[in-house]
Amino acid sequence: MGILEGKKILVTGILNDASLAYATAKEILAEGGEIIVTGFGRGMSITSRVVKRLDPTIEVLELDVANNDHFTQLATSIESSHGRLDGVLHAIGFAPAACLDPSMFVAQWEDVATAVQISAYSLAPMISHLTPLLKRGTSPSVVALDFDASQAWPGYNWMGVAKAALESLNRYMAREAGKDGIRVNLISAGPIRTIAAKSVGGFSDFEEVWANRAPLGWTVTDPTPVAKSTVALLSDFFPSTTGEIIHVDGGFHAVGA
């Protein structure tokens, strides 16, 4: 019997089969969980196609986190089809190109506002709209994906600032959702080659440094450690952990050189 047997999990952020959310969806199914998937904009048709490979009966619902009506429709749709949720994966990040320019002084406020809205703030309306469903779940758990914001990285720039906001928001969401018995945590992942990662100019710098320095080593093409650790947080095996950031990075964060 898998550790997610009987659990209904909402998985956001599957763009293609390289997405961290796709690897996580596979592990959730392998552990006996059921998934409801969301897709975004023009990527929805690709999302539907790759998800069908996992299971042709999986629903793909539309969610643009910048559109408040989508959250309302999503909650209504899950309410009528499933009646509850036991877990949610927030695997959503976006920053306009100016935010990832080598110079920090190129992005204008509108660019930065978009990066923060999509990559950090969106966790709040997601939790707010889904709380009635999560309250009916068993040991409900929300997990979002983070990239260590305790240091400045080459090229990550305003996306790094958005991740710092996400790390803080994680703690505030844990306070807020705790009274309803809902856990909120982040997985701080090492670099993995995905579409989102391709837009980060300094990504190849991270790749080399990570593989050489991480005590356990690191493979940028293997999302499985991130997926398995996310599954652990979604399961009942972290019953008293919330507001936490779990590093799944081969131990890179713990060593200086």
Q: Catalytic site residues?
A: 156, 163
| Residues 209 and 151 sit within 8 Å (Cβ to Cβ) | no
CA atoms in the 13 A half-sphere facing the CB of 184: 25
Residue 68 CB, nearest distance to ligand NAD (Å)? 12
Of 2, 3, 30, 43, which one interacts with ligand NAD (CB under 6 A)? 43
* Dist. CA 176–CA 123, nearest whole Å: 12
Residue 23 CB, nearest distance to ligand NAD (Å)? 8
| Residues 207 and 220 sit within 8 Å (Cβ to Cβ) | yes
Of 157, 170, 194, 229, which one interacts with ligand NAD (CB under 6 A)? 194
Of 54, 106, 164, 197, which one interacts with ligand NAD (CB under 6 A)? 197
Q: How far is CA 210 from CA 6, 17, 142, 159, 194, in A?
A: 37, 23, 27, 19, 16
Helix boundaries (H) for the chain: 20-30, 44-54, 68-81, 109-116, 123-134, 157-178, 195-198, 203-213, 224-234
Of 4, 9, 11, 15, which one interacts with ligand NAD (CB under 6 A)? 15
CA atoms in the 13 A half-sphere facing the CB of 162: 27
Decide if residue 191 touches ligand NAD (CB under 6 A): yes
Residue 138 CB, nearest distance to ligand NAD (Å)? 26
Residue at 37: amino acid letter: V
Decide if residue 115 touches ligand NAD (CB under 6 A): no
Residue 16 CB, nearest distance to ligand NAD (Å)? 6
As a whole number of Å, the end-to-end CA separation of the chain is 42
Residue at 2: amino acid letter: G
Segment 116-145, which members bind ligand NAD (CB under 6 A)? 118, 145
Segment 212-251, which members bind ligand NAD (CB under 6 A)? none
Segment 142-161, which members bind ligand NAD (CB under 6 A)? 145-147
DSSP 180-240: TT-EEEEEEEPP---HHHHT-TTHHHHHHHHHHH-TT---TT--HHHHHHHHHHHSTT-TT
- Give the residue with the Cβ less far from ligand NAD, 39 or 137: 39
Residue 159 CB, nearest distance to ligand NAD (Å)? 7
Scanning 13-21, 79-87, 127-135, 228-236 for contacts with ligand NAD by CB under 6 A, the matching segment is: 13-21
Count of chain residues binding ligand NAD (CB under 6 A): 27
Residue whose token pair is 């919330």: 242
Decide if residue 65 touches ligand NAD (CB under 6 A): yes
Q: Which residues bind ligand NAD (CB under 6 A)?
A: 13-15, 19-21, 40, 43, 63-66, 91-94, 118, 145-147, 189, 191-192, 194-197
